[in-house]
Structure 1
């Protein structure tokens, strides 16, 4: 049995490794704004005099709209395939990033510029890239999803330092233009030539007869079961902690007394453990109970939070904390995507994971706003750090409550 499974994994990778590579590039695109926006807080404060909550309000607008639109985008992915959506996402995200260079002194002008970015965020959500990989992998799905989601980890390594360097060399306006241009050149060729899915491949087979497949309805997929809200709340709880901390880590460390340049360097460490965490967890998910892995991973940020509270200004403590956050970040989305596919199947994965992903995005977008609101009110991030600990414990408990995977028929590629 083990040999057959390993053979299936190898066959899946031989057939579809280019899709995983392109999806990885798409996930990197989805993460650019998250890992770059924190570097623009201080330049915006100096030039416009805005508060940190005002600056992060763009994230809140985008996250709210994206959360509302995510389930509908999931339906489109399930029906028409992720390829065309992914290509549109790259152009929209890169163009929207460059448009931020036109920010003026009116805070509403800044918020208005977030509207095209919001469309890009709706299009570039993780479900687009994971839906393609999930449709093509079964035996090796955990690792395939992990490699795909490593795109955001790679972005976390490169983007903070790249953004800091661009701002220092050219100013914040040209830094936005540079970010959009660089990532368009990197991502578009990979996605254009290699990104596809079962639905996209079936659509392009004009002469080949494909046997019709009876699709389960959305309501038959398990969205009304008790497990769906449990998984959703568990994912949202840990996203509020981990994504918020990773996105805001530069201002958090700067507020503790660490120089901004050092904070940007430390922030880049997130990607290294995120990659390790994703690959390790992805391999384990194909072999072990995902609930246990999830509970262990979402408990780890508690250690990082204690380090930041107990040793403010310590570069060593900050680096260790960031490495822990990175590992948890590397596991968080992978686990939720994998458990969604195992508890609820693949036929309506886009809608189901899109719904969960929209809520995760809402939490991720509003978490930094709440964090910086605490800073504006108290002059410290410490109260928000203490509040994050119960959320980690809640997430771990909910993952454990999910129960064993339901019995399912052998998974076959889903036709449109």
Structure 2
């Protein structure tokens, strides 16, 4: 939350190379020691032969053929993540283009980071109480409204803050909601494969979104075309989340109950 303001001051006074030195120092002196000292694997009991057979992992394509909702979730994630990451990647120049002072624009990036934190907590609280796709729908509508605000041309600080918060809340909520929906719809038997594929979709879409917003800005001299495109993507994402339907009746707690109708290609025909 405070790093963008610090970086803006450092770059203004010491040059852009000093910003990279600070980022490298944080990774080396904070991130690396945290990973080395704080992260440990929990002890595991060796799996039995039956457990090893039951946990044999089918390919993603086999899983996809067994449940079309996996594809829906991947697409919803991709269409939702691309606009959010693209806007965040260009946030300061976007705000400057809309008439916000450069220093204030850097401060807004800190507000964006704070909103990400709030979005993570709020989304987690909501999915415990409300149907998950509705929560995902709401967090898709938020940045959509933010894009509409950013399309107004010259905006004041109040409008900039509102758009920042809406985009940040969605950025904080989305990946956590996807993690929850992956478990809630598909259980934990193949959770790593399914969730990994949704993250792959999110990352590829994020790359495409960042390239797209840059190319459109270079060709049009503004961000309007990209924002219109992102509004369309967010509408598609919201619709796809709602199309997931009810939670399956055969997911209980942290496991998937396999039945002949829902068994994946490896488990089909075998009682669980």
TM-score normalised by L of structure 1: 0.56
Aligned to 2:24: 180
Q: How does 1:371-390 map to 2 (within 5 A)?
A: 371-390=213-232
1:338 to 158, 180, 184: 180
Is the 8 Å Cα contact of residues 216 and 347 (structure 1) preserved in structure 2? no
Aligned to 2:58: 218
The yes-or-no answer on 1:231 pairing with 2:76 is no
Q: RMSD of the TM alignment (CA)?
A: 2.1
- Deviation per CA, 1:223-280: give whole Å up to 9, x if none: 3321011111111111111111112111111112222211111121112222112101
Structure 2 counterpart SS, 1:310: coil
Is the 8 Å Cα contact of residues 294 and 396 (structure 1) preserved in structure 2? yes
The yes-or-no answer on 1:275 pairing with 2:120 is no
Larger radius of gyration between Structure 1 and Structure 2: 2
- Deviation per CA, 1:52-84: give whole Å up to 9, x if none: xxxxxxxxxxxxxxxxxxxxxxxxxxxxxxxxx
2:14 to 165, 170, 178: 170
Instruction: Indicate how the Cα distance of structure 1 residues 293 and 409 shifts in structure 2: closer, same or farther if over 3 A, else same.
Output: closer
- Structure in which a larger fraction of residues adopt helix: 1
The list of structure 1 runs, each at least 4 consecutive aligned residues, that deviate by more than 4 angstroms after superposition, is: 208-212
Q: How does 1:271-310 map to 2 (within 5 A)?
A: 271-310=113-152
Aligned to 1:201: 42
TM-score normalised by L of structure 2: 0.83
Residues in 1 aligned to 2:117 and 2:171: alpha-carbon distance in whole angstroms: 9
- Deviation per CA, 1:35-54: give whole Å up to 9, x if none: xxxxxxxxxxxxxxxxxxxx
Quote how far apart the aligned CAs of 1:368 are: 1.8
Aligned to 2:266: none
- Deviation per CA, 1:327-382: give whole Å up to 9, x if none: 11111111111111222222433322222212211111221221121111111111
The yes-or-no answer on 1:364 pairing with 2:210 is no
Unaligned runs of 5+ in 1: 1-156
Quote how far apart the aligned CAs of 1:315 are: 1.9
Residues in 1 aligned to 2:153 and 2:253: alpha-carbon distance in whole angstroms: 51
Residues matched between the structures, number: 249
Is the 8 Å Cα contact of residues 163 and 175 (structure 1) preserved in structure 2? yes
Quote how far apart the aligned CAs of 1:168 are: 2.2
Quote how far apart the aligned CAs of 1:210 are: 5.7
Quote how far apart the aligned CAs of 1:176 are: 0.9
Instruction: Indicate how the Cα distance of structure 1 residues 226 and 174 shifts in structure 2: closer, same or farther if over 3 A, else same.
Output: same
1:263 to 105, 108, 112: 105
Aligned to 1:189: 33
Is the 8 Å Cα contact of residues 294 and 399 (structure 1) preserved in structure 2? yes
Aligned to 2:89: 247
Residues in 2 aligned to 1:305 and 1:410: alpha-carbon distance in whole angstroms: 38
Instruction: Indicate how the Cα distance of structure 1 residues 192 and 287 shifts in structure 2: closer, same or farther if over 3 A, else same.
Output: farther
Instruction: Indicate how the Cα distance of structure 1 residues 290 and 181 shifts in structure 2: closer, same or farther if over 3 A, else same.
Output: same
Quote how far apart the aligned CAs of 1:409 are: 4.5
- Deviation per CA, 1:130-163: give whole Å up to 9, x if none: xxxxxxxxxxxxxxxxxxxxxxxxxxx2342233
